[in-house]
Amino acid sequence: MMARIKQSGEKLLLVAVVGLNVASWIWSSQQQGVIRRIRSQPVAIRFSGANSPIVPPAPSAQESPVWPEPPAQSAGRGWVYELFTPPVIYYDGRDRTYTVTAPANLTEGQPSLGIQLLAVKPELYPLQLVGYVGPAHDYRATFVRPQHPEASLVRPGYYFAELGLTFTHFEVKKVLVPTSESGPVYEAAAFALLTEDRTGREVWLDSRGPHYTDTPLAVLQPLAGGARHELRAGDSFSIAGESYRIEAVQLTPPEVRVGRQIIGLPEAEIHLLRPINSPLPPIRTQADKMPRGAAPAIPDIAAR
């Protein structure tokens, strides 16, 4: 009995759903004509109290502001400066006077003391390998020292007492020339290994070019002319009764910080100098910290 009632209820629900769908379709079909008539009618917007069309306002002309010229200060028209380029103010401790230089009159690298920076260059290593002599089984390396005319012909094991360097290893190799365009070209090159007594560091020298240290040198000269001075950071010197000290030397970009000590002042005046003429000379890269045996592993050749 309950099963029949349940089946009858489901049939009635299905008939009601189908009837609603059919009625909805019939009503939608009848209203299509009304919808078409509404869409075909023009639409207009009317504003109360306005008989003319709306005209957008014309854009207002904007003028760029013009900054007025700065007024003269109490020091006069010569005292001019901009926001990020203030005048250079230099205090002379001997005369107890100030000197002001406007940015337009300031020359790049122009010092306000009695010396000028000519260049900043790398320092040559105290020993240079320039060649070798002798047969393949008994080479003697040829060393020279910068600013010294004599040459030294020595074998491995020689100790350079004045420099604190020990000549520990020597070899001659054929190395590939990287700039050749016609094909592989080799050249003979000598390699010498030195050991620094003070630091224990090993340094390889190459006979194909000079070797440099990691220390840059400042080349200075008095403004009035005279001898040039090659100085490292920390060196002190005197010119025309003035005492100077190199505070720092920078290779790239080249610049030097110099301190001038004036009697009566607790601290030195610090000045930044830049070169006034030629650029730096080119530096040839060397195998400074090359380990033993790291030279090009190509068979040795005789040097006769």
pLDDT in tens, the chain (304 residues): 666 666 677 778 787 878 888 778 887 777 777 777 777 766 655 655 555 556 666 666 666 777 777 666 665 555 555 555 555 565 555 556 666 655 444 444 444 577 889 999 999 999 999 999 998 888 999 999 988 889 999 999 999 999 999 999 999 998 888 776 777 888 889 999 999 999 999 999 999 999 999 999 999 888 877 888 899 999 988 877 778 899 999 988 899 998 887 776 677 788 888 887 644 444 443 433 343 334 433 334 333 3
Closest CA to 114 of 255, 263, 273, 232: 273
Q: What is the pLDDT of residue 287?
A: 39
- CA dihedral sign of residues 166, 172, 178, 180: positive
Are 129 and 143 in contact by the 8 Å Cβ rule? The answer is yes
Compute the distance between CA of residue 42 and CA of residue 44 in angstroms, rounded to an integer.
7
Q: What is the pLDDT of residue 8?
A: 73
Q: What is the pLDDT of residue 59?
A: 65
Are 150 and 157 in contact by the 8 Å Cβ rule? The answer is no
Are 156 and 169 in contact by the 8 Å Cβ rule? The answer is yes
The number of angstroms, rounded, from the C-alpha of 151 to the middle of its chain's C-alpha atoms is: 40
For the record, the structure tokens of 249 come out as: 């030397």
Strands (E), 18-136: 88-92, 97-101, 115-124, 128-133
Compute the distance between CA of residue 186 and CA of residue 296 in angstroms, rounded to an integer.
11
Length of the chain: 304
pTM (2 d.p.) = 0.52
Q: What is the pLDDT of residue 188?
A: 87
Q: What is the pLDDT of residue 136?
A: 84
Q: What is the pLDDT of residue 284?
A: 42
For the record, the structure tokens of 160 come out as: 């350079």
Compute the distance between CA of residue 24 and CA of residue 201 in angstroms, rounded to an integer.
98
List Cβ<8 Å contacts ≥24 apart for 233-237. Answer: none
For the record, the structure tokens of 253 come out as: 């970009």
For the record, the structure tokens of 20 come out as: 């609603």
